[in-house]
A and B are shown apart, each in its own frame.
Chain A
Amino acid sequence: MSEVPEHRTPVALSGLSEDDPHLQSAAKNPLLVERVIAFNFLLGIVLVAGFGAAYWVNAEPWILGATMGGGLLFLGVGLVAWGKYLMPKGPFVEERHDLANAQVDRDAFAAAIVERGGGVIKRRKMLGGLLGGGLGIFSVVAIFPLLRSLGPLPKGTLFHTDWRSGSYAVDQTGRRVQAGDLAVGSIMTVFPEGTQDTDRGQAVDQTVLIRISNQNFTTQKGRETWAPLGYVAYSKMCTHLGCPVGLYEQQLQLLVCPCHQSMFNVTNGAIPQFGPAPRPLPQLPLFIDPQGYIRAQSDYHEPVGPGFWERS
């Protein structure tokens, strides 16, 4: 644009001369703008090189990020400013040609599909139908490996935990819980013995053990033997979405789920009194054996955790 090759004479075409305002830059003071942009680029170079140096000496993350970020920022600002203030400011226009083609072309396109394709099918309808059937059944069956091979069928897995009649309640280290361990107002997380280190033990069998009294406690009718010496056990899996309900407020006698703030009353069988949980936490029937260990009478009497279709 600056130097004209000697064999040519500069002739503007499409009606624009070289000093047409459209081709001029937008800056009022282009030299000053150029200096500012140059300064930006210089800073950018220094900072990006600084990133290299900082990386070389294993500098702290914030130094790495500040140099790289600042460097990129200055380079970017300079480049934008160049495009915005020092390049032809325009505005320029171009025509939008109709996307749609002429009607005769559209008709030809449609004819290619309808007449050619229709002709083929019309003469061989049965073949077309069979092909359709083949493709259809393929598209159904092709999904099978993607779906069924992914995992086992649920069968009865969701209906049971590993608590059995006589299971010892242990803490996360495997230590058995004794009748004297908890004071009134204490809470701990327990598992059936042997499962405390397994995924299933932590996810499904997790149970909160709360001491709410010094005497045998009844949460609901029919559960008179379930809470010996005031030790009451509920499934730790919230019946809303399965988060561990570890938040116990001992004076309000509430178990609160930290995820969506469902609140369960521990004195009446963990019936939810606020929040989105639909069902009480299942209660684990306990007994204390002659050695003083806390053990389960049986598995939970209902499936633990959130609801699902087959849950009756």
Chain B
Amino acid sequence: MTATFLKRLGALAFASLFGLGPVVLFVGSAHASGGTAYKRTPYQTTRANAGTPNSDNVVKNSKGVVISYGNSAITYNAPPSTLAALGKALFLQNCASCHGSEADGVPANGTNGAFPNLVGLGPATIDFWVESGRMPAADPRSIEAPRRQPRLNHDQALAIAAWVNSLSPAFPSIPTVNLKSANVANGAALFALNCAACHTIEGDGDALAMGTYAPSLRHIPATQVAEAIRTGPGDMPRFTGNLSDYQVRDLVKFVTTEIQHPQNIGGFGLGGLGPVAEGFVGLALGVGILALFGFWIGERQ
């Protein structure tokens, strides 16, 4: 009885760290989100409570705006507001043609899909899309923008994020992951449960429904891993209260070490494609070469 009570008390305390914070901000942000140009349907995404400042290390500026928060695993930093002016100029140049000059998007029109409203999405979202080269989109009407060589550099991405965030400050801020004391085994277990279903256990990615796909994780920097997990870009689900910062740190460690530098102690990794590649090699190289030897050993008549 006592054990169960203590367990429940502990769970309540633990959950409150992650639960109450988002609940408060969720309630708050419902009023704080910027004007929406179109009606949100019940299953429209919101970014209300991802990677929120629910720890002790919240740093605010003189106006009470949160500029950084986090813990020993991940520090979240808002982009400097001084960059907002530059950000607005860059946005008008590179992004406004699709997302509108107020960054509030363009609604769906007939067969054309919507260009998303960026207001209230938080700086991490903006930073992820721009720094991974997906935005500005090469083909704005394709169902999924691929990772490309980024058109805008890190400072420019921060500037745009700063300006968009200034329209309606939201979270998560831009994460910096501290990989010291990360537990790669924990990361492996979390990856297998949460990520492998789309990205494959080797992290190579694969085709999903209707022309979308889960991208390969072989070349993604640590910050973008954390941003993607917290913000859930595109069709990727977001992981907010269901993964703590420590768990995200472990995942980032696993991705940047074992996924991106796999221990292929058995030889050539054959692309990590598993039995498909192995079957090709076994039949073409194995049986094929042996059949050629048989061709030499035997006669032709």
Contact = CB atoms under 8 A, between A and B. Distances in A.
Q: Is A–B contact present in the complex under a CB 8 A cutoff? A: yes
Interface of A: 60-62, 65, 80, 84, 171-172, 175-189, 210, 212-215, 217, 230, 244, 246-254, 256, 258, 261, 263, 267, 274, 291-292
B18 A181 contact: yes
B26 A180 contact: yes
A247 B197 contact: yes
Contact of B209 (A210, A212, A256, A267): A256
Contact of B241 (A60, A182, A185, A251): A182
A175 B11 contact: yes
8 contacts: A61-B265, A80-B293, A175-B11, A181-B241, A246-B197, A247-B198, A247-B208, A253-B43
A186 B209 CA distance: 18
Interface of B: 11-12, 14-15, 18-23, 26, 30, 42-50, 193-194, 196-198, 208-210, 212, 232, 234-242, 265-267, 293, 296-297
B198 to A, nearest CB: 5
Contacts of A186: 232, 237-242
B190 to A, nearest CB: 9
A183 B193 contact: no
Given A178-B241, A181-B18, A182-B242, 5 more contacts: A180-B18, A181-B241, A183-B22, A249-B208, A253-B43
Given A180-B26, A181-B19, A183-B48, A251 B235 contact: yes
B15 A178 contact: yes
Given A181-B18, A246-B197, A250-B232, A263 B209 contact: yes
A36 to B, nearest CB: 14
A188 B240 CA distance: 10
A172 B193 contact: yes
Given A247-B208, A250-B237, A188 B265 contact: no
Contact of B235 (A62, A80, A172, A249): A249
Contacts of B196: 246
